[in-house]
Amino acid sequence: ETPPGQDDTERMLHFVGLMLDQGFIAVTSPYADPPSAPWCDGDRDAVLKRLRQEWEALDHYPTFLDLCWFHRR
């Protein structure tokens, strides 16, 4: 089944939204400084907004793992 959305960005945001709804939290890379820092205090809408902004700012075709990682609560 094709996920909802008109393009890859919308489909990615839909998928990440489902992950957040199931208890995952967006964090920085484990190689970042500081490592694995939570994004946006876990606020779902703020995470999706930041993910969209960073996705659109990249100069190559990204995957969401280029931007953030996930931990399970």
Count of C-beta atoms within a 10 Å radius of residue 12: 20
The answer to whether 64 and 24 have CB atoms below 8 angstroms apart is no
Residue 2 has pLDDT above 70, yes or no: no
Residue-wise pLDDT for 14-72, tens only, equals: 989 999 999 999 998 888 898 999 988 879 999 999 988 888 888 767 666 678 889 98
What pTM did the predictor assign?
0.80
DSSP H helices, the chain, are 8-21, 44-57
CA angle (61, 67, 40) in 5-degree steps? 140
pLDDT value, residue 3: 64
Residue 49, sorted as left (phi over 0), alpha (psi -120 to 50) or beta, turns out to be: alpha
